[in-house]
Amino acid sequence: MITAIATFRLPRRLTVDEARAIFQGTAPRYQSQPGLIRKYYVLSEDGMTAGGVYLWQSRQDADALYDDAWRAFVTEKYGAPPQVTYMDSPVVVDNTTQQIIVA
């Protein structure tokens, strides 16, 4: 499994309520994304950095999303280009299902 952390610096501060409304508007586009296990939308405490933390089945699945069209969408939507960092996720603790998942 792969975790991808996408962040972008916002041109203006967002409140949690503003971010929630924006995130709810874009969330449906990720529901059917092949290989995506889970996505967390994130907003920094100062409201100036936002992004997502994605858990993927594979790097190939992640790369299929983070193409030029996705980068253009994020840049237009939030006013800043995203930075994506990839990390291997060899073990995941899922307390909602009481599982330890080993990749």
Query: Residue range 86-95: average pLDDT?
Result: 96
Say which CATH topology domain 2-102 has.
Answer: Alpha-Beta Plaits (3.30.70)
Tens of pLDDT, residue by residue over 21-79, are: 999 999 999 999 999 999 999 999 999 999 999 999 999 999 999 999 999 999 999 99
Task: Please state the domain extents for the chain.
Answer: 2-102
Q: What is the pLDDT of residue 28?
A: 97
Q: What is the pLDDT of residue 69?
A: 95
pTM over 0.85: yes
95 phi-psi bin (left φ>0, alpha ψ -120 to 50, beta other): alpha
Q: Taking 90 as the threshold, does the pLDDT of residue 103 lie above it?
A: no
- From the list 24, 76, 74, the residue with the least C-alpha distance to 50 is 74
